[in-house]
């Protein structure tokens, strides 16, 4: 089955700096890669996703890049703000084949220092 590794497990950045979280996956058939943000006491919230037919996707201050050859994808947050502090999870899945399972990484706790 799919295995997703996520690094780093914790990340501290100064407000205004950029943050990068990296994930690798094992199943070359996976074609859907979402990122979730989980704030304390809440459920994970989808913030951005990418499908394997594109290499990069941006949404305001966040962007995700995908390298299918190397089987890794990354989340980039620019101009970080204190409200970006949360745990971020990457995941991988095979979309469109009747399979709906997401395999999650272990999470990265991001702290943005004012």
Q: Which residues bind another protein (CB under 8 A)?
A: 32, 34, 36, 41-46, 49, 89, 93, 95-96, 100-102, 104-107
Name the minimum Å distance from CB 5 to another protein: 12
**Cα 59 to Cα 78: distance, rounded to the nearest angstrom:** 11
Name the minimum Å distance from CB 79 to another protein: 26
The closest of 102, 101, 91, 98 to 37, measured between CA atoms, is: 91
> Which of residues 32 and 78 has its CB atom nearest to another protein in the complex?
32
The closest of 6, 13, 72 to 36, measured between CA atoms, is: 6
- Catalogue the E-assigned strands of the chain: 4-7, 10-14, 19-25, 32-38, 45-51, 56-59, 62-67, 72-77, 86-92, 103-104, 108-113
Name the minimum Å distance from CB 2 to another protein: 11
> Which of residues 42 and 60 has its CB atom nearest to another protein in the complex?
42
Name the minimum Å distance from CB 49 to another protein: 7
> Which of residues 33 and 80 has its CB atom nearest to another protein in the complex?
33
């Amino acid at each position: 089955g799919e295995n997703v590794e996520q690094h780093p497990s914790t990340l501290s950045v100064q407000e205004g700096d950029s943050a990068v979280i990296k994930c690798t996956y094992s199943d070359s058939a996976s074609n859907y890669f979402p990122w979730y943000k989980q704030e304390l006491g809440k459920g994970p919230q989808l913030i951005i996703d990418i499908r394997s037919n594109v290499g990069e996707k941006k949404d305001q201050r966040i962007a995700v890049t995908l390298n299918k050859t190397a089987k890794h994808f990354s989340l980039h947050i620019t101009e970080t703000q204190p409200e970006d502090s949360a745990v971020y999870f990457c995941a991988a899945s095979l979309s469109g084949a009747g399979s709906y399972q997401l395999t999650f990484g272990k999470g990265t706790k991001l702290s943005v220092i004012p």
